[in-house]
């Protein structure tokens, strides 16, 4: 009996696959795949149809293109947001959840792009300007920056951060190197210092290459660079206050990059990880309030400034949609429906 049931299930799956291919024709995706993909993002049939109609109104000949083209998806989202605003549904629970699910689908498409999916495998692929954390076991963790990368070794700035033992020599030391590659993930690899020297009177290290990069902490959301003035507040606890706006000005800050799950924020002075903070700033005409925990700090002694890397408490759908519209550069007011087919 059991083998017969399994055979029936396999036949049904095969029929669905054949139907999807038949419906696809010469297109990259079929309508069946379109609705299934939308369903994965939490969309019901009615919401899927609204997104499809928005794609047609945006002038996209084949609306299934939005399943693989971030640019086409952005056009459809812009028209969808504009339509909801025109109909007075943009602030309704239904409208907010529809946009939330459309953005969830948009994020999934973004992370299917090669730069997110595959990353890098060799230290030779690290770009100049990349910030590093250099760990020496039993000594400490130091900050550094990639100055140059050539086929033989990587040139990094002289590591700074902690106290070094007396008569310390970097040459020959084994190190572990950590870095976060923008719009990608975190990486770690083991290396050793080939030489400790000066280039044009600037102290640098030459470190060996590695073909065994470990890719960790893959990015969970898309970030956008920014220069947004903000106020920062210290919190005793996040619970019950994470989206409640403050009336009094806080510490002046600058949001340097932003995503739905966090931000990099520059402030004057020195800060430490573990702080619970609230950020308050404006995006277009929207007031944004985010709260979270400072996970790491980059301190520049010369400028006496710190960059706080804040992991945010999950924002409400309304707040999250406003942040996503900035990240993906969605401008619903500029969306002009072009008419469908």
Number of independent structural domains in the chain: 3
Helix (H) or strand (E) holding 3: helix 2-24
- Confirm whether 337 is domain-assigned: no
pLDDT tens for 294-318 read 988 888 878 899 999 999 998 999 9
* Domain shared by 237 and 201, yes or no: no
pLDDT band at 4 (very low <50, low <70, confident <90, very high): low
Segment 23-52 shows an average pLDDT of 77
Distance between CA atoms of residues 63 and 29, nearest Å = 10
Mean pLDDT of the residues in the chain? 85
Reading the block at residue 28, the tokens are 């990259």
- Confirm whether 250 is domain-assigned: yes
* Domain shared by 211 and 228, yes or no: no
* Domain shared by 212 and 228, yes or no: no
- Confirm whether 116 is domain-assigned: no
Pair 144, 165: CB distance under 8 Å = no
Distance between CA atoms of residues 225 and 228, nearest Å = 9
Distance between CA atoms of residues 270 and 279, nearest Å = 17
Reading the block at residue 85, the tokens are 């605003």
- Confirm whether 178 is domain-assigned: yes
CA atoms within 13 A on the CB side of 301: 4
pLDDT band at 332 (very low <50, low <70, confident <90, very high): low
What domain range is 200 assigned to? Answer: 123-216
pLDDT recorded at residue 164? 85
State the pTM of this model.
0.72
pLDDT tens for 192-222 read 999 999 888 889 999 999 998 988 766 678 8
Segment 222-227 shows an average pLDDT of 90
- Confirm whether 98 is domain-assigned: yes
Segment 128-133 shows an average pLDDT of 92
**% the chain with pLDDT above 70:** 86
- Confirm whether 339 is domain-assigned: no
* Domain shared by 246 and 207, yes or no: no
Q: Collapsing DSSP states into helix, strand and coil, what is residue 268? A: strand
* Domain shared by 212 and 232, yes or no: no
pLDDT tens for 257-281 read 999 999 999 999 999 889 999 999 9
The answer for residues whose C-beta is within 8 angstroms of residue 309's C-beta and 6 or more apart is 262, 264, 294, 295, 296, 297, 298
Reading the block at residue 295, the tokens are 């996970």
* Domain shared by 70 and 153, yes or no: no
* Domain shared by 191 and 285, yes or no: no
Last residue of a domain, one of 193, 216, 239: 216
- Confirm whether 172 is domain-assigned: yes
Last residue of a domain, one of 216, 233, 268: 216
pLDDT recorded at residue 340? 45
- Return the bridge partners of 133, or none: 143, 178
Last residue of a domain, one of 76, 111, 146: 111
pLDDT tens for 58-113 read 999 888 888 888 999 999 999 999 999 999 999 999 999 999 999 999 998 888 77
CATH number of the domain enclosing 265: 2.40.10.220
- Confirm whether 135 is domain-assigned: yes
């Amino acid at each position: 009996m059991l083998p017969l049931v399994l055979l029936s299930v396999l036949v049904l799956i095969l029929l669905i696959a054949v139907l999807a291919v038949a419906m696809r024709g010469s297109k990259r995706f079929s309508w069946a795949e379109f609705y299934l993909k939308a369903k994965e993002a939490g969309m019901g049939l009615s919401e899927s149809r609204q997104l499809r109609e928005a794609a047609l109104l945006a002038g996209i000949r084949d609306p299934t293109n939005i399943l693989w083209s971030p640019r086409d998806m952005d056009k459809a989202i812009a028209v969808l947001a504009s339509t909801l605003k025109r109909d007075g549904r943009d602030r309704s629970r239904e409208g907010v959840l529809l946009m939330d699910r459309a953005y969830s689908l948009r994020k999934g498409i973004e992370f299917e792009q090669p730069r997110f999916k595959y990353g890098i495998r060799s230290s030779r692929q690290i770009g100049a300007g990349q910030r590093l954390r250099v760990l020496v076991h039993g000594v400490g963790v130091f900050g550094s920056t990639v100055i140059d990368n050539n086929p033989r070794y990587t040139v990094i700035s002289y590591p700074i951060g902690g106290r070094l033992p007396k008569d310390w020599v970097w040459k020959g030391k084994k190190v572990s190197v950590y870095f976060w590659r923008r719009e990608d993930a975190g990486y770690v690899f083991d290396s050793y210092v080939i030489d400790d020297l000066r280039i044009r009177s600037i102290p640098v290290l030459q470190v060996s290459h590695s073909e065994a990069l470990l890719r960790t902490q893959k990015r969970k959301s898309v970030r956008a660079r920014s220069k947004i003035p903000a106020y920062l507040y210290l919190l005793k606890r996040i619970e019950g206050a994470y989206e409640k706006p403050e009336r009094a000005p806080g510490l002046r800050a600058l949001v340097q990059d932003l995503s739905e799950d966090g931000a990099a924020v520059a402030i004057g002075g020195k800060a430490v990880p573990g702080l619970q903070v609230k950020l308050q700033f404006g995006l277009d005409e929207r007031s944004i309030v985010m709260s979270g925990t400072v996970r790491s700090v980059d301190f520049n002694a010369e400028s006496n400034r710190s960059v706080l890397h804040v992991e945010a408490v999950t924002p409400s759908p309304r707040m999250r949609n406003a942040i996503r519209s900035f990240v993906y550069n969605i401008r619903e007011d500029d969306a002009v429906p072009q008419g469908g087919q």
